[in-house]
Amino acid sequence: MQTEFGHLMETFVVGELRTQASWLEQPYVLGHWRTSDDEEVDFVLELSDGRVLAFEVKASERIPGKDFAGLRKMREAVGDRFAAGIALSMGTRSYTYEDRLHVMPIDRLWS
């Protein structure tokens, strides 16, 4: 269950991602992804060459494995077109969690 702060953080970060995507020179499609069993990804950027970048926003410092469920499901569904899934967190370090799934502090959007 997401807190009020979590909703606010997600809205803010998605707005920032939309702004930064507008700087791309190539065409792209933005969206949100949800499965029939309610797995979801907060923000999806599909580039004109078909590659997909997926973002999950978490208003916590730590990202447990279960928080990657939507990104994993999307990675399976999209296959080789899935370039990366990024869980943005309130933490302080970036790292690779597993194949094409990464954790990155939210403040890296500005640095």
- Predicted structure pTM score: 0.93
Tens of each residue's pLDDT in the chain, 111 residues = 568 988 999 999 999 999 999 999 999 999 999 999 999 999 999 999 999 999 999 999 999 999 999 999 999 999 999 999 999 999 999 999 999 999 999 999 988
Output the DSSP codes for 52-90: EEEEEE-SSS---GGGGHHHHHHHHHHGGGEEEEEEEES
Task: Walk me through the domains of the chain, giving residue ranges and CATH numbers.
Answer: 4-110 (3.40.1350.10)
